[in-house]
């Protein structure tokens, strides 16, 4: 009986040793590979000041649709994006609105006749100052930081 008991203990001890060794290798590999897999998700996007247009070309009180060219890192590439912002001037102040609808991320367009920003996807309507006027959007359009330097309007995107 004693022999069976010893054999049983030995088996249990060896099984544990195997589990510990394989577990260690598994943990090391999971850390290294897991780190490499989640890594790109941990980097933050950096905003830049981008020139939009000369201040003098912007009429007071009129909303203007502006296309800006930005570059961002796209993994191993440097991607060039064209983004749309809406600029409104009042005196020496310029405000800018993002064109991304706060509902599901489509791009809104300026309807000059009705003087509203409309989303083509689900019928969201925003005022010229970005406030929700109709449709499903939950909140106002994001405003974009602006700066005037040497007679040019810069936006931070």
Partner 1 sequence: MARWSRLVSWLDSRTGLRAGLSHLLDEPIPAGVNWWFTLGSILLGLLGVQVVTGLVLTLYYAPTPDHAYDSIRFLITSVTFGRLVRSLHFFGASFIVIAAVAHLLRVFAFGAYKASREMTWITGVLLLLIILAFALSGYLLPWDQRAYWATTVALNIARSTPLVGGWVASVLQGGNDLGALTLSRWYAAHVILLPLLLLLLIVAHLALMRRHGIAGMPTPREGAPAPFYPFHAVKDTIAISLVFALLFTVAMSGRAPLDLKADPTDANYIPRPEWYFLGLFQLLKYFPGKLEPIATVVAPGLMVLLLLLLPWLDRAADRSVKARRFVIASGGVVGLGALILTMLGWRDSPASADPARWPPSALAGRAFASDERCSRCHTPGGIGRDLMSARFTHDDQWVTTHVGDPEMIAAGIRKPPQGQFGTPQAQAIAAFVKRVQAGAPPPAASSEEIRASIVFATHCAKCHRVEGIGGDEGPDLTRAAQKRDREFILTYVRDPSLIDVNATMPAFEDKLSQEDLQVIVNYMANRK
Write out the residues near partner 1 by the rule CB under 8 A: 11, 14-15, 17-18, 21-22, 24-25, 28-29, 31-33, 35-40, 42-43, 48, 51, 69, 71, 73, 75-78
Q: Cβ contacts of residue 124 below 8 Å, gap of 6+? A: 101, 102, 103, 108, 118, 132, 134, 135, 136, 137
| Min dist. Cβ of residue 9 to partner 1 (A) | 12
Question: Cβ of 84: how many Cβ atoms within 10 Å?
Answer: 16
Task: Give me the long-range contacts of 63-69 (CB less than 8 A, separation at least 24).
Answer: 63/87, 63/88, 63/110, 63/115, 63/128, 64/88, 64/89, 65/109, 65/110, 68/155, 68/157
Nearer to partner 1, 9 or 131 (CB): 9
| Min dist. Cβ of residue 79 to partner 1 (A) | 11
Nearer to partner 1, 122 or 145 (CB): 145
Nearer to partner 1, 36 or 90 (CB): 36
Nearer to partner 1, 28 or 62 (CB): 28
| Min dist. Cβ of residue 21 to partner 1 (A) | 5
């Amino acid at each position: 009986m004693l022999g069976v008991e010893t054999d049983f203990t030995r088996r249990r001890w060896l099984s544990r040793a195997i589990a510990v060794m394989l577990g260690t290798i598994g943990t090391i590999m999971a850390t290294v590979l897991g780190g490499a897999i989640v890594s790109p998700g941990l980097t933050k996007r950096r905003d830049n000041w981008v020139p939009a247009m000369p201040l003098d070309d912007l009429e007071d009180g009129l909303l203007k649709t502006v296309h800006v060219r930005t570059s961002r890192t796209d993994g191993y590439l440097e991607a060039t994006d064209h983004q749309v912002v809406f600029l409104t001037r009042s005196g020496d102040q310029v405000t800018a609105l993002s064109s991304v609808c706060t509902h599901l991320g489509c791009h809104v367009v300026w309807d000059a006749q009705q003087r509203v920003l409309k989303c083509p996807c689900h019928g969201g309507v925003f005022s010229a100052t970005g406030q929700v006027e109709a449709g499903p959007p939950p909140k106002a359009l994001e405003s974009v930081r602006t700066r005037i330097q040497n007679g040019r309007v810069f936006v931070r995107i």
